[in-house]
């Protein structure tokens, strides 16, 4: 459902906010649970995340039994049997649909995969997933409404031409239940992919990873056992709340921060003159966190973990608008991730200059309310942040894109004492 926000700016958050389970882990773990013949219980699950709700709805239409506990942030998944038929609604607007192949193939020898949807931030096709299925012995046919994958999985070597998170995840789940051994080269093991590996191991899979680019999987040749697992906290959400509190002059306790996965992103904040007050699992932000010299201009390049990943880029762009000088952000992995910056510039009238792979911000901006349109998940959240910082009223179209990545976003904003109106269509 499409949703818009109306915000009157110059509001400062106050209170505490708990970081939810990571979107980029939780939605993958759902699919992995389908390759078990028993119940899989997942804790710290972001049950109200739009992407999770959409995936759960489609999995249920296949016959998966899923119990959702919103109060305790838990889900239980059991897959007794699956029913495939072409009359299903295959319009599923998320990107991780390809991960649902393994559970279907293991039971029926055939999988119907909705075409991957999601954010338009450049060329992100599904050719690498087709490559995985074919390498593991399956036939792939592109139907009008879905991708048909046929056959039973057999271990093999998979050599990705580029490092890929999604391809690695698909190869891991398929390889775990394939007949025989698989080797995944040029893999990309992010903290969220490591979370997936840990769950598959709990389910009985034999997986060894060597650094961040080589993984060996001993296939079980059948379904795995049940497990109980806790999703890691969302490092992107944690950074979002920290920068949001800094920019608005708020007083916020951010709980559940995965510091072990955020060392470099937080180092960039420190170098920009932001002093982080923290303990082992929380960050406390108040106006005194900014040095007397103010937020300093910076340069950074987005890349792979443990650096600043592309999903974090919009929040540093926001930070650049308040820095004392010109800041530069480079992103050559997803160079077309600049559409949101053009919308963000409507609050500042000319302070952002962007071209593929590079964003330049002129700081010390007095932001003014604007009517803007969300272009992608993280960019949408940056627009929300900017609206609360700006003078006057702002209208943000398609804020539902932000809700794809932020569990119970309206509830968390209200919990910080912020006021807004939501218009749904």
Q: Is the pLDDT of residue 121 over 80?
A: no
What integer is the mean pLDDT of 162-170? 95
Do 132 and 148 contact (CB within 8 A), yes or no? no
**CATH of segment(s) 23-230:** 3.65.10.10
- Model pLDDT, residue 325: 96
Confidence of residue 123 (pLDDT cuts 50, 70, 90): very low
Q: Which of 38, 161, 171, 163 is nearest to 101 (CA)?
A: 171
How much is the pTM? 0.94
Evaluate whether 187 touches 168 at the Cβ level (below 8 Å): yes
- Mean pLDDT for the stretch of residues 168-196: 97
Is 386 assigned a catalytic role? Answer: no
CA-CA-CA-CA torsion sign (53, 37, 117, 20): positive
Q: Could you check whether 3-20+233-424 and 23-230 share the same CATH topology? A: yes
* pLDDT, tens only, 350-383: 999 999 999 999 999 899 999 999 999 999 999 9
Q: Can you tell me the mean pLDDT for 70-87?
A: 91
Provide the pLDDT for residue 425. 67
Q: What is the pLDDT averaged over residues 400-409?
A: 94
11-22 pLDDT tens trace: 999 999 999 999
Across the beta sheet with 421-424, the strand order is 371-373, 393-397, 3-8, 421-424
> Mean pLDDT, to the nearest integer, of 123-132?
82
DSSP letter for each residue of 199-261: HHHHTT-EEEEETTTEEEEE--SS-B--EEEEPPB-HHHHHHHHHHHHHHT-EEEEES--GGG
Q: What value does the CA radius of gyration of the chain take, rounded to a whole number of Å? A: 22
Instruction: Give me the percent of the chain exceeding a pLDDT of 90.
Output: 90
Give the tens place of pLDDT for each residue, 145-163.
899 999 999 999 999 999 9
Parallel, antiparallel or unpaired: strands 352-355 and 326-331: unpaired
Please give the average per-residue pLDDT across 397-423, as a whole number: 96
Band (119; pLDDT cuts 50, 70, 90): very low
Mean pLDDT for 115-139 is: 79
Residue 107, both tokens? 């039971």
Q: What is the mean pLDDT of the chain?
A: 94
Could you report the per-residue pLDDT of 210-234, keeping only the tens digit for each?
988 999 999 999 999 999 999 999 9
CA atoms of 203 and 206, how far apart (whole Å): 9
Ranges of each domain in the chain: 3-20+233-424, 23-230
pLDDT at 120: 39
CATH class assigned to 3-20+233-424? alpha beta
- Looking at per-residue confidence, does 386 or 125 come out higher? 386
Chain mean position to CA 170 = 16
pLDDT tens per residue across span 278-315: 999 999 999 999 999 999 999 999 999 999 999 999 99
């Amino acid at each position: 459902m499409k949703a818009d926000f109306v915000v009157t700016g110059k509001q400062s958050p106050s209170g505490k906010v708990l970081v939810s389970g990571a979107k980029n882990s939780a939605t993958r773990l759902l699919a992995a649970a389908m390759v078990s013949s028993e119940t899989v219980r997942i804790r710290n699950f972001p049950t109200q995340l739009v992407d999770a709700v959409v995936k759960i709805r489609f999995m249920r239409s296949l016959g998966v039994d899923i119990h959702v506990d919103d109060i305790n942030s838990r889900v239980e998944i059991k897959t007794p049997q699956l029913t495939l038929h072409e009359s299903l609604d295959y319009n599923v607007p998320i990107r991780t649909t390809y991960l649902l192949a393994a559970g279907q193939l293991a039971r029926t020898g055939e999988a119907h995969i909705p075409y991957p949807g999601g954010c338009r931030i450049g060329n992100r096709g599904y050719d690498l997933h087709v490559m995985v299925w074919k390498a593991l012995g399956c036939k792939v046919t592109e139907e009008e409404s879905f991708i048909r994958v046929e056959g039973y999985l057999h271990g093999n070597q998979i050599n990705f031409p580029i490092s890929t998170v999604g391809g690695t995840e698909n190869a891991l789940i398929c390889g775990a239940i394939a007949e025989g051994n698989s080797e995944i080269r040029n893999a990309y093991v992010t903290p969220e992919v490591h979370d997936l590996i840990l769950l598959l191991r709990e389910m009985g899979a034999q997986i060894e990873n060597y650094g961040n680019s080589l993984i060996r999987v001993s296939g079980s040749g059948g379904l795995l056992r049940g497990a109980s697992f806790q999703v890691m906290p969302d490092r992107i959400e944690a950074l979002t709340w920290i920068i949001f509190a800094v920019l608005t002059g708020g007083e916020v306790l951010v709980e559940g921060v995965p510091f072990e996965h955020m060392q470099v992103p937080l180092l960039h904040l420190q170098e920009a003159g932001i002093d982080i007050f923290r303990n082992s699992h929380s960050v406390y932000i108040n106006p005194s966190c900014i040095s007397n010299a103010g937020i300093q201009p910076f340069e950074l390049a987005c890349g792979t973990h443990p650096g600043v990943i592309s999903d974090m880029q919009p929040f540093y762009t926001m930070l650049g608008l308040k820095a004392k000088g010109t800041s530069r952000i480079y992103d050559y992995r997803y160079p077309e991730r600049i559409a949101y910056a053009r919308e963000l510039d409507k609050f500042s009238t000319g302070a952002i200059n962007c071209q593929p792979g590079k964003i330049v911000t002129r700081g010390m901006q007095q932001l003014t309310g604007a009517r803007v349109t969300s272009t992608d998940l993280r960019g949408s959240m940056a627009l929300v942040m900017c609206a609360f910082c700006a003078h006057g009223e702002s209208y943000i179209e398609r804020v539902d894109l932000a809700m794809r990545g932020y569990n119970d976003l309206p509830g968390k904003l209200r919990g910080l004492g912020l006021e807004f109106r939501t218009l749904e269509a």
